[in-house]
Amino acid sequence: AQADTPAAGAFDFPELAAGVDATHHVAEGYAAEILLRWGDPLFPDSPPFDPQNQSAAAQARQFGYNNDFVGFIPLGEGRGLLVVNHEYTNVELMFPGLGAINRRSGPVALSPAQVAVEMAAHGGSVVEIVREGGRWRPILGSPYTRRITAETPMTLTGPAAGHPRLQTAEDPSGRQVRGMINNCSGGVTPWGTWLSGEENIHYYFLGQLPEGHAEARNAALYGMGTPLYGWGREHPRFDLARTPHEPNRFGWVVEIDPHDPLSVPKKRTALGRMKHEGAAGLVNRDGRYVVYLGDDERFEHVYRFVSEGRVDPADRAANRDLLDTGTLSVARFDADGTGCWLPLVHGEGGLDAAAGFASQADVLIETRRAARRVGATRMDRPEDIEANPATNRVYVMLTGNPGRKPEETDPANPRARNLFGHIIEIAPEGGDHAQARFRWEVLVRCGLPESGATFSAATTPDGYFGMPDNCAVDARGRLWISTDGNSRRSTGRADGLWAIETEGPRRGTSRHFFRVPVGAELCGPCFTPDDETLFVAVQHPGESDDPAAPSTYETPATRWPDFAEGRPPRPAVVALTRKGGGRIG
């Protein structure tokens, strides 16, 4: 009988049926309201969304494309700042007249004006929102409103800042950079800043390095030479031949102060350079700030940063540069269920001049090479990582790795041709996130039952999912997982949000809560502190997942969420609430 009795805090919402169609669906008894769409005006003087007549000037005053990370920073009862990453653009769905495009076949020829729109649609948004009569809405005249784009001036800080490898003709200081790109997930700090991870930076750099260039090894390790964006045709900084150091100025965690719209975002080099998924953290018991970091690519690694200084909860300004000094480590998962954090510190563990690391700056600029050198475990695409402050356990989303051969499996990556991913639970020694050692186990292997998924027996067919990507822990310490890669073809269901039990006899039980329209993935998930609202980001609705069935501006797979003839689909943030009020789930 015990197995049928939900543990304290277990989920009790009516489960949503898995499936896929043109629109979103939420569990019965819950409301889903569109809060912010691509192109929505953010300032009182913003032009209205006009997809047939886009301009960079208009886009820079409107909500950007492909919302990914969502953070909520409370400003008072029913009021707060929503901070949102705009990861990338889908030109085939943004601009009329381009026809069928296979994004994977390289950069599309766009006009300079269209490139400028793309650059303005990247980055992030800060939007003040208020809840009135149970509904959230953006405040158009808020003094906090901000758009950050691929052109916003930023500084590089920390151990690599100013290093010759970060210097360019445009910036001989190696400390000034324009813009952030491909910002995927992130985090919000207790001192009210927003951490935003630059992920697939290699897509933005055209061409080849000059023959025999010193950055060749670095460029290869980060996948340069496979561009999807043609910005480098007009912008020399995105052309490897003309600006070989520019890629070293991207791939960082950016810290942004949304309380001050004039503040200069800072790329924190101490947190390493990689294809950053997120940057969720917590205050360790000794007051130091700990950030868990995933490098989202096949066979890449799981990282942890521990600040040297302690968080001052009473003085925001005292925490301003906390993330510039500390220790970055990388995880090794051992077969006995233990593991350790290997520090990436110059002069230790073979990270020395003989190995091509002349300083800590070199270790950070080539974080991936340093991780391999110290013997880190090569994982199945580490995405979001979140700690549960109630239990001090840490959840690592591994979204999959179809390229893993049978002879390459290991206990932490146990599936050959891992199509559907898995989730690892880490328990730091003594609940101390600064300790070198931890225990770990696979919480669940994802996918459908016939794929060897290991959800609990209490999981219904609707509760199965593949490709975990983002996650959130609610105020009651419960884990929610959003996905990227479920489709008609892969699992017969749309991406969406699932709640998964981590405690008690129902551990490993998954339940479906929300699903996205066709072609989209689900990002965000972000709870308000009272658990009464869950913000989710519907990214790339209508994107084709089948090369044989391209989706275009004129004939998209869906026109979500406007469903107006002639209107393209629009990525959007959705606010989920319980009808009649109350906590979610």
Binding residues for ligand FEO, per CB under 6 A? Answer: 87, 184, 199, 277, 296, 383, 469
With CB under 5 A as the contact rule, the residue among 198, 295, 484, 532 that binds Ca ion is 484
Q: Do the Cβ atoms of 98 and 184 come closer than 8 Å?
A: no
Shortest distance, position 397 Cβ to ligand FEO, whole Å: 9
Which lies closer to ligand FEO via its Cβ, residue 87 or residue 255?
87
Q: By rule CB under 5 A, what string of x and - marks binding of each residue 18-57 to Ca ion?
A: ----------------------------------------
Shortest distance, position 28 Cβ to ligand FEO, whole Å: 30
Which lies closer to Ca ion via its Cβ, residue 15 or residue 469?
469
b/e map of 188-208 (b: 16 or more CB within 10 Å)?
bbebbbbbbbbbbbbbbbbbe
Q: State the sign of the Cα–Cα–Cα–Cα dihedral 107, 111, 114, 119.
A: positive
Q: Which residue carries 């670095």 as its tokens? A: 218
Which lies closer to ligand FEO via its Cβ, residue 15 or residue 295?
295
Shortest distance, position 394 Cβ to ligand FEO, whole Å: 18
Which lies closer to ligand FEO via its Cβ, residue 255 or residue 469?
469
Segment contacting Ca ion by CB under 5 A, of 71-79, 93-101, 467-475, 501-509 = 467-475
Which lies closer to ligand FEO via its Cβ, residue 128 or residue 199?
199
With CB under 5 A as the contact rule, the residue among 469, 501, 532, 543 that binds Ca ion is 469
For residue 255, the partner it binds in ligand FEO, Ca ion, none, with Cβ less than 5 to 8 A by kind, is none
- Residues contacting 287, CB < 8 A, separation 6+: 310, 311
* Closest listed residue to residue 272, CA positions, set 205, 310, 350, 327: 327
- How far is residue 288 from each of residues 281, 283, 316, 464, measured CA to CA in Å? 10, 6, 15, 37
Shortest distance, position 468 Cβ to ligand FEO, whole Å: 11
With CB under 5 A as the contact rule, the residue among 257, 295, 384, 532 that binds Ca ion is 384
Which lies closer to ligand FEO via its Cβ, residue 277 or residue 474?
277
Half-sphere exposure of 109 (CA within 13 A, CB side): 0
Which lies closer to ligand FEO via its Cβ, residue 184 or residue 290?
184
Shortest distance, position 184 Cβ to ligand FEO, whole Å: 3
CA distance 401 to 413: 9
CA distance 521 to 518: 9
Looking at beta carbons, which residue is closest to Ca ion?
484
Dmax over CA atoms of the chain, in Å, equals 71
Segment contacting Ca ion by CB under 5 A, of 41-49, 161-169, 256-264, 381-389 = 381-389
Beta strands in 399-505 (DSSP E): 422-428, 437-445, 468-473, 479-483, 496-500
Check residue 495 for interaction with Ca ion (CB under 5 A). Answer: no
Shortest distance, position 469 Cβ to ligand FEO, whole Å: 6
CA distance 279 to 534: 19
Which lies closer to Ca ion via its Cβ, residue 72 or residue 357?
72
CA distance 27 to 16: 5
Shortest distance, position 491 Cβ to Ca ion, whole Å: 15
CA distance 55 to 427: 49
Which lies closer to Ca ion via its Cβ, residue 247 or residue 294?
294
| CA 168 to centroid of chain Cα atoms | 28
Determine whether 13 is exposed, middle or buried from the number of CB atoms within 10 Å of its CB (0-12, 13-18, 19+).
middle
Tell me the three state secondary structure of residue 353: helix
Shortest distance, position 263 Cβ to Ca ion, whole Å: 23
- Residues contacting 370, CB < 8 A, separation 6+: 330, 344, 351, 357, 363, 364
Under rule CB under 5 A, how many of the chain's residues touch Ca ion?
5
Shortest distance, position 278 Cβ to ligand FEO, whole Å: 8
For residue 92, the partner it binds in ligand FEO, Ca ion, none, with Cβ less than 5 to 8 A by kind, is none
Shortest distance, position 262 Cβ to ligand FEO, whole Å: 29
Q: By rule CB under 5 A, what string of x and - marks binding of each residue 162-201 to Ca ion?
A: ----------------------x-----------------
Q: What is the DSSP string of 238-306?
A: GBTTT-TTGGGGSSSEEEE-TT-TTPPPEEEGGG--S-B---EEEE-TTSEEEEEEEB-SBT--EEEEE
For residue 199, the partner it binds in ligand FEO, Ca ion, none, with Cβ less than 5 to 8 A by kind, is ligand FEO
Shortest distance, position 255 Cβ to ligand FEO, whole Å: 19
CA distance 521 to 538: 6
Which lies closer to ligand FEO via its Cβ, residue 362 or residue 469?
469
Which lies closer to ligand FEO via its Cβ, residue 239 or residue 383?
383
CA distance 566 to 177: 38
Which lies closer to ligand FEO via its Cβ, residue 184 or residue 500?
184
Give me 216's structure tokens.
Answer: 């060749």
Query: Phi first, then psi: what are they for 367, rounded to 5°?
Result: -55, -40
* Closest listed residue to residue 193, CA positions, set 282, 256, 263, 254: 256
For residue 87, the partner it binds in ligand FEO, Ca ion, none, with Cβ less than 5 to 8 A by kind, is ligand FEO
Shortest distance, position 398 Cβ to Ca ion, whole Å: 11
For residue 196, the partner it binds in Ca ion, ligand FEO, none, with Cβ less than 5 to 8 A by kind, is none
* Closest listed residue to residue 204, CA positions, set 147, 125, 267, 123: 123
Binding site for Ca ion (CB under 5 A): 184, 384, 469-470, 484
